[in-house]
Structure 1
Amino acid sequence: MKASKTLTDNMQLVLVDLVELHLQGKQAHWNVVGKNFRDLHLQLDEIIEDARLFADQMAERMRALHAVPDGRSAIVAKGTSLDEFPAGLVDTKDTVAMVVAMLESAVGRMREVHDQVDEEDPTTADILHGMIEKFEQYAWMVNAENMQPTANVVTPSKK
């Protein structure tokens, strides 16, 4: 099978977000400070590793379909849907918000292109499913750091 221009363009959109997610994840990883620093620092490593793996998977899928991936920095910067991560040291609370926004943006792009991808190549759509599932899980787990509990916990009585 040879990818159409539409399929190629849609896969390229996903690729640039994955490359950008990896790069911005490293920026966050290097510059996060504050409460629960170590946990978030380590969790960012997991996200970064998957973003790199998924970028490689998408680029290699493009090549398998005779499409040419473009991960050059200028192309990534111009085409990404992710907002720029701030320069300098960033508090864990703000880092959490930024990372969740990055993950949701990447997932949003995957969902935007999904139906067109699925029409032409269900195999690539299946790859997107796995990425969406993992990034949505990461978004939930990272976001939990800033969430407020809703349970009214009562100390158990001793019997």
Structure 2
Amino acid sequence: MTVITGPLAKQERDDTGALLQSTLVDLLDLSLLAKQAHWNVYGPRFRAVHLQLDEVVTTARDYADQVAERAAALGVSPDGRAGTVAENSGLPAFVSGWVDDGKVVEAIVQVFSTLITRMRARIDEAGRSDAVTQDLFLSLAAALEKQSWMFQAENRA
């Protein structure tokens, strides 16, 4: 049942909706991974990494809301349930327990690398179905790439 109708034709809506849904899942997972790291990081750079992880969480949650609302505006029901996120996220898992600050930085850099690669592919795909969603994805990719750069600058390797 479609309660909300948007400006796109059915195929464009379906294609764009799938891109938005997969992005929503990845962003919700990013917020959870970053919070897990935030709670469990330790080491000499604890405070800097701890605070930087909160910035990641804020970015992920803000964009998750924008992505979900874009889907809703197009008539696509967003699904952010925990089971959906666990089943469909394309991000690498984060370890449990206490994690040294250097290992946290390495793990988060890998998460960003995976997500940015996925977002760049989605940007191209969105360009074929909905320019407005593509614009949202461009803004999101820029924010993710900025966060990735900041974590890479933290890396002591």
Fold conserved between structures, TM > 0.5: yes
Separation in structure 2 between the aligned mates of residue 81 and residue 53 of structure 1, nearest angstrom = 19
Could you tell me which residue of structure 2 aligns to residue 154 of structure 1? none
1:32 lines up with 2:70 in the alignment: no
RMSD: 1.1
1:48 alignment partner, SS class: helix
Could you tell me which residue of structure 2 aligns to residue 66 of structure 1? 75
Instruction: Quote the offset at 1:74 in angstroms.
Output: 1.1
Could you tell me which residue of structure 1 aligns to residue 145 of structure 2? 136
Could you tell me which residue of structure 1 aligns to residue 154 of structure 2? 145
Instruction: Quote the offset at 1:84 in angstroms.
Output: 0.9
Could you tell me which residue of structure 2 aligns to residue 43 of structure 1? 52
1:82 lines up with 2:91 in the alignment: yes
1:144 alignment partner, SS class: helix
Instruction: Quote the offset at 1:4 in angstroms.
Output: 2.2
TM-score by length of 1: 0.89
Which one of 16, 37, 55 corresponds to residue 64 of structure 2? 55
Separation in structure 1 between the aligned mates of residue 104 and residue 156 of structure 2, nearest angstrom = 14
| Structure 1 unaligned residues grouped into runs of 5+ | 149-159
What's the CA shift string for 1:81-101, capped at 9, x where partnerless?
111110000000000011111
What's the CA shift string for 1:4-59, capped at 9, x where partnerless?
22111111111100000001110000000002100010011111101000000000
Could you tell me which residue of structure 2 aligns to residue 19 of structure 1? 28
Instruction: Quote the offset at 1:70 in angstroms.
Output: 0.6
Separation in structure 2 between the aligned mates of residue 125 and residue 107 of structure 1, nearest angstrom = 14
Between the two proteins, the alignment pairs up a number of residues equal to 148
Separation in structure 2 between the aligned mates of residue 79 and residue 112 of structure 1, nearest angstrom = 17
Task: Tell me if the contact between 2:28 and 2:61 (Cα under 8 Å) persists in the aligned partners.
Answer: yes
Task: Tell me if the contact between 2:105 and 2:151 (Cα under 8 Å) persists in the aligned partners.
Answer: yes
Separation in structure 1 between the aligned mates of residue 113 and residue 66 of structure 2, nearest angstrom = 20
Identity of aligned residues (%): 40
Task: Tell me if the contact between 1:13 and 1:109 (Cα under 8 Å) persists in the aligned partners.
Answer: no
Separation in structure 2 between the aligned mates of residue 53 and residue 25 of structure 1, nearest angstrom = 14
Looking at CA atoms only, which structure, 1 or 2, has the larger radius of gyration? Answer: 1
Task: Tell me if the contact between 2:16 and 2:126 (Cα under 8 Å) persists in the aligned partners.
Answer: yes
Separation in structure 2 between the aligned mates of residue 21 and residue 137 of structure 1, nearest angstrom = 15
Separation in structure 2 between the aligned mates of residue 143 and residue 107 of structure 1, nearest angstrom = 14
